[in-house]
Amino acid sequence: MVQKKTRKMIATLLTIVLALSMLAACSSNNNNGNANGNGNNPANNGGEQVQETENPQSDGFVNGKFEPAVEISTFKCNNNLQYREGESIQDNVHTRWAKDELGIQIKYDWVTSGDQCANKIRLALAGNQDLPDVMVIGDYQMLGELIEAGKIMDVTEAFDKYASDQVKAIYGQDPSYWFSVSKDGAKYGIPTLNESMNNDSVLYIRQDWLDKIGMPAPTNFEELEKVMEAMIAADFNGDGKKDAPLALGLKNDLNPLATYMTDVSWVFGGFGAIPGYWNTWNDENTLEYGSIQPEVKEALAKLQEWFKKGYISQDIGLLDERKGSEQFTSEQSGIIAGPIWMYNWPIQASLMKNNPNAVVTPALIPAGPSGKVGRHGTTIPGQVIVFRKDFEHMDAFMLYLNKLYEYNNPVAGSPYENGWHEGYDYVIKDGKVSRARADFPDETPIDVSKYFIMEGVKLVDPHLSLEIRRKLYNGEKPVTPQELQWFNTATEEEKANPKANKTWQAVDVVLQQKDTSILDMYLGAPTETMVNKGEALRTLEHETFLSIIYNKAPVDDFDKFVEKWKASGGDEITAEVNEWYQSAKNK
């Protein structure tokens, strides 16, 4: 009896073990045979490589790469790229890396100049031709046309499924990163992200001139006016003329009052509004046009006053940003507003080249009459990566994107801790990393990011480089590979004395006023009324504002401008902008 019971129990246990073994085998086969399974998702675990299994996946994703290689077609809007000898757009250090490292073959369907790209795409749309798999679009009107034509895909599901934790964290920092691609709950592309505050202005001022007149850097408009008066009287360049001390250039067809070099947005920000910018000036739920805010009238009055007193050039309407900055680099002017990178170029490249004894320091933006400080802010979302409607390899593209983000901010010991490729963006000289031009083949370093599908985009956390440079400026030692890369851009003198690095100082200055940056919150395609009436409205605005600044029209003409702007299509545009805004917020 006992033997029968024992045999029965053994038989039962064998049955259970066999069933569990079959279940485990089925589970293993399911994971190994599907590249989208948790075990071998190309983007799983931050995009890290996975080990090859006994059963290769059905779509060929094995050991962290696609075998055979997956082809991704795209285009390039730049026919002037530099290559090492024997390389080309189709075969270069980056395309080889993508194929060897990831199993992705990048194929360029066509290459053209930047000004012809939009026409090329529109011709393809008009002829109902096939579009490349991946397209980088910088024209929001074109983006809107592609969405309306139903030619590009909603990437919401693919991003959620394939983006690494690192990429998701970066894109999750601010919901507005997605506004430019959002419509009716869908995301029609992945926005590239610009470096935070890269074009936010600081005030560059001739410190040697301040020392000679015995005055500190101005902290408000009243102090600034005293400094400008003293600079005019001192005639530092000795030409016997009353040169305008504040360098401005307002010849910009898009927004001359909020630009990168010779910026004047901070004058308007000192009163509380930025021309040309859509923002929640009066209601956090409603976008309004900056140029029609009453604070702009006060700023125009102040600029008119400065024009009459000779603080700004009589030719500002004829000077673009580069020509305007020449007032400063040629030593006619001693004050200019510009971005954090401006010290290297054109200040150091031009001014210091001609006058090595010139001393320029970055300073805080001065406050307006009521104590307000404001300036235009850098829009972080930039060009948009869009995908052909029937593109079948989002897993492959997201692997590519994940890896670019991962390797652009590498960990210690990574093969990319010094840069992308030795001999291209860095060299090893005497056992040390060098980025000195003279050490490169033909004295020509190559920015490998120019070869990315999303050309020139650095693909790092938008805030990272600011944090690193401020850390270095304050004397902290570089620890991470990214910090070491930034540290190695400094001269030996600057490494020994970080306070001597003017660009790092500019970063520190701009971050001291980070809460004063005002963003243009409209990131959508031009609305219907913008397309039909926008040019006429811009002309009306530019002519009115310049006439007031030039003292050819009374300041009260601003009120007439506002009425005409609203009646000539401005109110319709405002309604359209807010329709987009509500849709983007409620995606």
pLDDT digits 0-9 by tens, 80-105: 999 999 999 999 999 999 999 999 99
CA–CA separation, 122 vs 125, rounded Å?
Answer: 5
Residue 458: per-residue pLDDT: 84
Same domain, 212 and 183: no
CB 337 within 8 A of CB 202: yes
Same domain? For 255 and 280 the reply is yes
CA distance 454 to 450: 8
Asked whether residue 501 is assigned to any structural domain, the reply reads no
Q: Would 496 be classed as within a structural domain? A: no
Q: Picking from 6-20, 487-501, 526-540, which range would have the lowest pLDDT averaged per residue?
A: 6-20
Contacts for 141-146: CB closer than 8 Å, 24+ residues apart: 141/525, 141/526, 141/531, 142/118, 143/180, 143/181, 143/188, 143/189, 143/384, 143/386, 143/525, 144/524, 144/525, 144/526, 145/525, 146/121, 146/188, 146/386
Which of 193, 211, 236 is where one domain is finished?
193
220 lies in the same domain as 294: yes
Does residue 52 fall inside a structural domain? no
- Amino acid identity for residue 282 in this structure: N
The CATH number of the domain holding residue 172 is 3.40.190.10
Q: Which domain holds residue 141?
A: 64-193
* Mean pLDDT value across the chain: 90
Token pair 């948009």 is at which residue?
A: 384
Strand partners of residue 384: 137, 191
pLDDT one-digit tens code per residue, 351-409: 999 999 999 999 999 999 999 999 999 999 999 999 999 999 999 999 999 999 999 99
Among 144, 162, 193, which residue terminates a domain?
Answer: 193
Residue where one domain finishes, among candidates 193, 220, 243: 193
Token couple for 304: 């008119």
| DSSP H or E stretch at residue 571 | helix 571-585
Residues 177 and 247 placed together within one structural domain of the fold: no
Q: Do 165 and 289 belong together in one domain?
A: no
- The percent of residues above 70 in pLDDT, for the chain, comes to 90
60 φ/ψ sector (left φ>0, alpha ψ -120 to 50, else beta): left
Rounded to whole angstroms, the Cα distance separating 316 from 198 reads: 24
Distance CA(142)–CA(127), nearest Å, equals 16
With respect to residue 513, please indicate whether it lies within any of the assigned structural domains. Answer: no
Does one domain contain both 133 and 218?
no
Q: Tell me, yes or no, if the pTM score tops 0.75.
A: yes
The token pair that represents 421 in the structure block: 């490729």
Number of domains in the chain: 2
